[in-house]
Structure 1
């Protein structure tokens, strides 16, 4: 993977993208999208109130999990300043959608996500491939201890069940981030997160009896976590893992560690248009609806440079990610005598 290349390759691609007008803001698109998302969000909770004390609320929980994830996509776009050009309106809208709306710390998540964009799939710098529970490389397996080492043995089978806990993990991490002195606007972030908890848990436990309320929370947050995970997993999981020895220019670092997912309008909506992951990583400020138009330009340019450009179907993308996870844990499935070299 160690390769030295010319940094000007990206500059030439950027000129093509700029000349095509694909970095221009899309205010009408985002005004409509934000309005529709807000209407559906409020409508979902109005449906919750209308259904009342009923087992049908479990179906409402699934619906609201989808709505929460779509709100998460909007928070993501706001974090990249795809909606507004300046910081202040982006932060105001991002915290309202993220902290108050879905209970995820927008400031913390944006900082983490930007570090991921700077060094995707890099063992030392990308927080999304840190071995918290899942391990992503054979080197991480060798260094793993405790729960990650236990899970790694059959982590391909654990992957989707663990995603049911992902939303809870993000909620907890959002509150934990408030303890860091380096966190900007901690007071505001805390107030909005607490306000989310107040209206969210207040509604659920006021309308539903305790048992149904707990089941609603399990289903809602579980589906929310799985949907989020199923959106982000196809993008980088199973792609090359970089280390300190890998020297790639910006274009190759982004393209070679990312995977696009084929699909029509339904796939675009379901995945928040993050199925154009290569284009998104090359141009994170590009408005989401422009990614589809940028895709053929980027693919053709990569072909000219002979840079591998991977695009596949949704199901196959999951297969590639799961096969990679299974291969990473292969050493731990060997007989003890064959594992003697592992620490």
Structure 2
């Protein structure tokens, strides 16, 4: 999409800004710092609004002083409606001789991507096949039903116990992929239905908070693999040394919360099995209580009441063990899949790159197959998903050739690898970062 497309007529005497002025007025650390950002060449002051932003304050804070046009269009399905709310925040426009993005960014790449986004929209690739997603929901419900039926019919001996645990784990993970689709507003054309079903799947079927997920995941998409801005790497440096630059920094500072040179070994017994039953479990309830999301809390509790009522009547005192094993298996599946696309990629401070570059430096793909698509919830197309977060996942394979062409034109590497290689690269990246930390710790 070109820089002028979709613009509405501004005020007759709109103030004109240069990027230099915006940079000076939004300089980090300045006590008089202004909360300005740019969308479609319009300059907005979000200082009075960012704390009330539905996607969370941090996602706006991360774009202060920047051209947030591509992020804005990526996160908002109905941009025209949202812009009506932005009108009261507008303080002017970029001067006519100023580029649409900061001079430091890749102007041609940005323009080409906006043309690609317009093409994607014309091709109808942002329109969902609702039947596809309802079929996913049906198979999730059938798997959960089969899990409980297995124990009820065959008893609680080791074999039916294990079979039931596996069936319920698959159901829970597939529900996680579906709630991810709903959270990105990619299942229904009406946002209201996306949000309603998102709450049902996330709260009633999984036992977690939909609002918690939205606040967390939006930050990840806005600034993936950016230290202090992407919550997915917040365990750095308490558990892991991540990224080449950050690992060396920890070594130079003599920081040693853990023996990071062995992190590729203890990874197996830490984050994969423990993320869901410990940190996520605690953080979900902490946030909904802190934010007073009482309706969300009641919906979450409905999952636990239903789960332990059924589980207790079938397994008795083994219910808690069954639940913990379920969360550990679900967590392991989720972590390996979610990290295979990000952890081996560049992890650093925010470099204020253009949208395409920032997403591609932090993501890679895994080869397509029916199994890989199902097993990963189509997150094997992580590049396409990050460039177009609201695109229904069943269309990723259609836009992939266009994204590859864009990357080829601009000399950007488009990484795509086998599933096994993607898993192995998690360990390789941890090992390399740990060795860099150890070398800096001992010799610098």
TM-score (norm 1): 0.89
Q: In structure 2, what is the Cα distance between the partners aligned to 1:103 and 1:135?
A: 31
What is the RMSD of the two structures over their aligned residues, measured on CA atoms? 2.4
For residue 296 of structure 1, report the CA deviation from its aligned partner: 1.4
Q: In structure 1, what is the Cα distance between the partners aligned to 2:348 and 2:323?
A: 38
For residue 109 of structure 1, report the CA deviation from its aligned partner: 1.1
**What does residue range 65-104 of structure 1 map to in structure 2 within 5 Å?**
65-104=169-208
Distance 1:180 1:55, change over 3 A: same
1:292 maps onto 2:422 in alignment = no
Q: Which residue of 2 aligns with 1:120?
A: 224
Q: Which residue of 2 aligns with 1:242?
A: 348
State which drifts further: 34-43 or 315-324: 34-43
Distance 1:327 1:149, change over 3 A: farther
1:19-45 Cα distance to aligned partner (Å, 9 max, x none): 332111212212222223223223322
Contact 1:129 1:135 in 2 (8 A): no
For residue 261 of structure 1, report the CA deviation from its aligned partner: 0.2
Among 274, 281, 284, the residue aligned to 1:174 = 284
SS in 1 for 2:257: helix
Contact 1:121 1:236 in 2 (8 A): yes
For residue 124 of structure 1, report the CA deviation from its aligned partner: 2.4
SS in 1 for 2:404: helix
Q: Which has the higher helix share?
A: 1
Q: In structure 1, what is the Cα distance between the partners aligned to 2:196 and 2:418?
A: 36
SS in 2 for 1:276: helix
State which drifts further: 235-244 or 51-60: 51-60
Q: Which runs of 4+ in 1 moved over 6 A?
A: 144-148
Contact 1:133 1:147 in 2 (8 A): no
Structure 1, unpaired ranges of 5+: none
Q: Which residue of 1 aligns with 2:25?
A: none
Q: Which residue of 2 aligns with 1:156?
A: 264
Contact 1:103 1:197 in 2 (8 A): yes
SS in 2 for 1:329: helix
Q: In structure 2, what is the Cα distance between the partners aligned to 1:332 and 1:271?
A: 31
**What does residue range 256-271 of structure 1 map to in structure 2 within 5 Å?**
256-271=361-376
Q: Which residue of 2 aligns with 1:201?
A: 308
Contact 1:53 1:209 in 2 (8 A): no
State which drifts further: 34-43 or 299-308: 34-43
1:272 maps onto 2:272 in alignment = no
Contact 2:144 2:167 in 1 (8 A): no
1:110 maps onto 2:214 in alignment = yes
1:294-340 Cα distance to aligned partner (Å, 9 max, x none): 11121122111211111111111122221111121215545x9x626
Distance 1:250 1:178, change over 3 A: same
1:33-62 Cα distance to aligned partner (Å, 9 max, x none): 222322322332233332333222123112
Bigger-Rg structure (1/2): 2
